[in-house]
A and B are shown apart, each in its own frame.
Chain A
Amino acid sequence: MTTTTLTPDTGAEGVAGAASLGRLRWAVADSLTMTWRNLINYTRIPDAIFFSSVQPVMFVLLFRYVFGGAIHIPGTSYVNYLIAGVYVQTVMFGSVSTSVGLAEDLHKGLIERFRALPMARSAVLAGRTAADSVRNVGVLTLITVVGYLVGFRVETNLGHFLLGFLLVLFFAYSMSWGFAIIGLSVSNSETAQLAAFPVLLPLTFASSAFVPVAAMPGWLQAFAVNQPVSQVIDATRQLMLGPSPLWSASNVWVALAWSVGFLVVLAPLAVLRYRRAA
């Protein structure tokens, strides 16, 4: 099909043969193309990048200086305790953009065009979640640098720090498939944003993100200790700060299990939702 004169019959047979070859290779290539497209989208809206970076920086600075003196964490400083909380809270809030971005693509008709292309069905979602992970690397790095400037210090070693960093990224990646389902299910991008918050707020605030759960009433404590966001935050602390009475190595395994579980359940559901979305 490279010549100007078109001969439909040979064209049809030629591509039909190619279709059976390397499906997986194309799925990866298509996902990379979609990732590229979503990343360009981020760079074309620089003010969105700016303001989504301001928020985590404000969280680090405000919590560091407002609560820093009032909350005492056994064995470490409040800013050390805080950083893991801001990491996870930021990637959770950031995953709203997965919902919003997909809702926009869907309602602007872009997904309609993608459906008529021979691309892999999973690539729209895989490209979106991958691009959001790349963005998360940037935001987490920024939080780390600002944290370092106001006193955050890793108490284990670089290897463990990186493991913690990767754990947060992996958890965010798994969760973004859930936010993809929200984005594909609502009627517009504004609603996507509103729909994401009832999921986000209890998970991020009824958690060990900013204060030890011991201060919460008993019924809330039971939820806050066991819910996945707290598990990931405490696991990150374990990896970056070492053992403490407030968290332990078991948090790491539980956090990993949650992340794998979410991915295994949510990703196929999201693809199914994508296939059915009008």
Chain B
Amino acid sequence: MPERVAVAAYDLVKVFHSKPEVRALDGVSLEVATGTVLGLLGPNGAGKTTVVRILSTILAPDSGHAAVLGHDVVREADTVRRLIGLAGQYATVDENLTGSENLRMVGRLTHMAKKEVLTRAPELLEQFGLDDAADRPLKTYSGGMRRRLDLAAALMSRPPVLFLDEPTTGLDPQSRHDLWRVIEELVRARTTVLLTTQYLEEADRLADRVVVVDHGRVIAEGTPPELKADLGTTVIELTLPDTVTATRAAVLLHADGAKVPVLDGSIVKLTVENGPKVAAEALRALDQNGLTVAGLALREPSLDDVFLSLTGHRAEIEAEAGDGDGGRHAEERSDRGPSGAAPEERGRP
């Protein structure tokens, strides 16, 4: 099949007329090639969910336009709805229905043939390891189980395009890895996926390309290796006994002509082209000045490093402390209230 664009957004702008007015999207453009995964990466309130809501026809943009498989999300919304599956961090399923009933409901509302609904639902429940819980109401499910059912519901009609809005936020590591495996299988079957996440590890593992958004704008774009390459090829982490020594080391190494070192507690980070050589020089320089190095590590830069250098703040820490800046995000979902925030892993038997 010729490589072509499955999802395209051009210059999307969305302003929420609340007090204060929130410019959720300020000209976002992106493209997802057919059969690939695009990771939309950014902290809470960056505008990720707004992008997904526009692409899935839930929300109309103030300006700009977007299309799924060539169909405009506003003018041809009904056609787009037949081509997409949507699963989100809020696991929007009916608590009083059983897993099987939820899937059948979504199947019927997607206008699948009756016979297919009846075969597809058990098939998905088995695929997602929910066959034992198929006939239990959703309120007895754990957070991870709900999330899997939510994803199963999005897949009922085998949509060629899938939107996953923070599919693993709040999940325990095991559930997260399970969900990743499922997504990887979908991609092998040529499903096009747009995935939003705050987890750099998730984007690194699943995404073919990454678009980084912050404050409603795209601030970087590329494959994970490209984004990392922009930063240098190797990260050297020198662990010093304490923060005071670390500060002295950072000043010393800066003066020594290396790239600007980043200080993180008692760790000094250098992002360089020639890792081993610079590391050896740095150790020698520190030794000559009587500074003891407690630990040394050389590694590939992670997307976390990329994010830090692009935005000046860490993705995940920002997300946790997000209540302040998250007013933007809260605004997007202010209609939902606290009850909307799905409690994670309630872990009922």
The interface of chain A, by Cβ under 8 A from chain B, is 1-2, 4-9, 11-12, 15-16, 18-19, 26, 29-30, 33-34, 36-37, 40-41, 44-45, 106-110, 112-119, 123, 187-188, 277-278
User: How close is A24's CB to chain B, nearest CB, in angstroms?
Assistant: 13
The reply on B190 being an interface residue by CB < 8 A is: yes
Question: Would B79 and A15 count as touching, CB distance under 8 A?
Answer: yes
User: How close is B147's CB to chain A, nearest CB, in angstroms?
Assistant: 13
Question: Would B189 and A5 count as touching, CB distance under 8 A?
Answer: yes
Q: How far is the CA of A42 from the CA of B197 in the complex (A)?
A: 36
User: How close is A117's CB to chain B, nearest CB, in angstroms?
Assistant: 5
User: How close is B202's CB to chain A, nearest CB, in angstroms?
Assistant: 22
Please indicate the chain B residues that have their CB under 8 angstroms from the CB of A112 in the complex. Answer: 53, 58, 88, 90, 92
Please indicate the chain B residues that have their CB under 8 angstroms from the CB of A5 in the complex. Answer: 189-190
Q: Which residue of B lies closest to A110 (CB)?
A: B92
Q: How far is the CA of A117 from the CA of B157 in the complex (A)?
A: 10
Residue of A6, A19, A29, A30 with most partner-chain B CB within 10 A: A6
Question: Would B101 and A33 count as touching, CB distance under 8 A?
Answer: no
Chain B contacts with A in 88-146, Cβ cutoff 8 A: 88, 90, 92-97, 101, 105-106, 108-111, 113, 116, 137
Please indicate the chain B residues that have their CB under 8 angstroms from the CB of A45 in the complex. Answer: 96
**Given known contacts A5-B190, A108-B339, A118 and B92 CB-to-CB distance under 8 angstroms:** no
Residue in A2, A33, A106 whose CB lies within 8 Å of B105 = A33
Of all A-B residue pairs in the complex, the 6 with the closest CB atoms, nearest first, are A8-B160, A118-B81, A44-B96, A109-B92, A113-B92, A119-B109
Please indicate the chain A residues that have their CB under 8 angstroms from the CB of B335 in the complex. Answer: 106-107, 187, 277-278
Residue in A12, A30, A44 whose CB lies within 8 Å of B83 = A12
Q: How far is the CA of A26 from the CA of B109 in the complex (A)?
A: 9
**Given known contacts A8-B83, A15-B83, A107-B337, A29 and B71 CB-to-CB distance under 8 angstroms:** no
Residue in B57, B116, B153 whose CB lies within 8 Å of A115 = B57
The interface of chain B, by Cβ under 8 A from chain A, is 1, 6, 34, 53, 56-58, 69-71, 76, 78-79, 81-84, 86, 88, 90, 92-97, 101, 105-106, 108-111, 113, 116, 137, 153, 157-158, 160-161, 189-192, 335-337, 339-340
**Given known contacts A41-B94, A109-B90, A11 and B160 CB-to-CB distance under 8 angstroms:** yes
Question: Would A109 and B96 count as touching, CB distance under 8 A?
Answer: no
Please indicate the chain B residues that have their CB under 8 angstroms from the CB of A110 in the complex. Answer: 92-94
Please indicate the chain A residues that have their CB under 8 angstroms from the CB of B137 in the complex. Answer: 44
Q: Which residue of A lies closest to B186 (CB)?
A: A6
Question: Would A107 and B340 count as touching, CB distance under 8 A?
Answer: yes
Q: How far is the CA of A213 from the CA of B106 in the complex (A)?
A: 50
Please indicate the chain A residues that have their CB under 8 angstroms from the CB of B161 in the complex. Answer: 8
Question: Would A12 and B79 count as touching, CB distance under 8 A?
Answer: yes
Please indicate the chain B residues that have their CB under 8 angstroms from the CB of A30 in the complex. Answer: 108-109
Q: How far is the CA of A1 from the CA of B161 in the complex (A)?
A: 13
Q: How far is the CA of A188 from the CA of B106 in the complex (A)?
A: 24
**Given known contacts A4-B189, A8-B160, A118-B111, A108 and B92 CB-to-CB distance under 8 angstroms:** yes
**Given known contacts A44-B137, A106-B335, A115-B58, A6 and B84 CB-to-CB distance under 8 angstroms:** no
Question: Would B84 and A116 count as touching, CB distance under 8 A?
Answer: yes
Please indicate the chain A residues that have their CB under 8 angstroms from the CB of B69 in the complex. Answer: 8-9, 11-12
Q: How far is the CA of A173 from the CA of B336 in the complex (A)?
A: 28
User: How close is A186's CB to chain B, nearest CB, in angstroms?
Assistant: 11
User: How close is B89's CB to chain A, nearest CB, in angstroms?
Assistant: 10
Q: How far is the CA of A4 from the CA of B191 in the complex (A)?
A: 10
Chosen A-B contacts, 21 in total, with CB atoms closer than 8 Å, are A2-B116, A2-B158, A6-B160, A6-B189, A8-B69, A9-B69, A11-B69, A11-B160, A16-B71, A16-B79, A26-B111, A37-B101, A40-B101, A41-B94, A109-B88, A110-B94, A112-B58, A113-B106, A117-B106, A118-B78, A119-B110
Please indicate the chain B residues that have their CB under 8 angstroms from the CB of A278 in the complex. Answer: 335
Residue of A7, A18, A110, A118 with most partner-chain B CB within 10 A: A118
Other A-B contacts than A8-B161, A112-B53, 8 sampled, CB-CB below 8 A, are: A2-B158, A15-B83, A19-B79, A26-B111, A41-B97, A108-B92, A116-B81, A119-B109
Q: How far is the CA of A41 from the CA of B95 in the complex (A)?
A: 9
Q: Which residue of A lies closest to B336 (CB)?
A: A107
Please indicate the chain A residues that have their CB under 8 angstroms from the CB of B191 in the complex. Answer: 6
Please indicate the chain A residues that have their CB under 8 angstroms from the CB of B34 in the complex. Answer: 8
Question: Would B158 and A6 count as touching, CB distance under 8 A?
Answer: yes
User: How close is B51's CB to chain A, nearest CB, in angstroms?
Assistant: 14
Please indicate the chain B residues that have their CB under 8 angstroms from the CB of A36 in the complex. Answer: 105
Q: How far is the CA of A201 from the CA of B54 in the complex (A)?
A: 41
Please indicate the chain B residues that have their CB under 8 angstroms from the CB of A18 in the complex. Answer: 111
Question: Would B86 and A113 count as touching, CB distance under 8 A?
Answer: yes
Please indicate the chain A residues that have their CB under 8 angstroms from the CB of B339 in the complex. Answer: 107-108, 188
Q: How far is the CA of A123 from the CA of B190 in the complex (A)?
A: 32
Question: Would A37 and B105 count as touching, CB distance under 8 A?
Answer: yes
User: How close is B41's CB to chain A, nearest CB, in angstroms?
Assistant: 22
Q: How far is the CA of A37 from the CA of B96 in the complex (A)?
A: 9
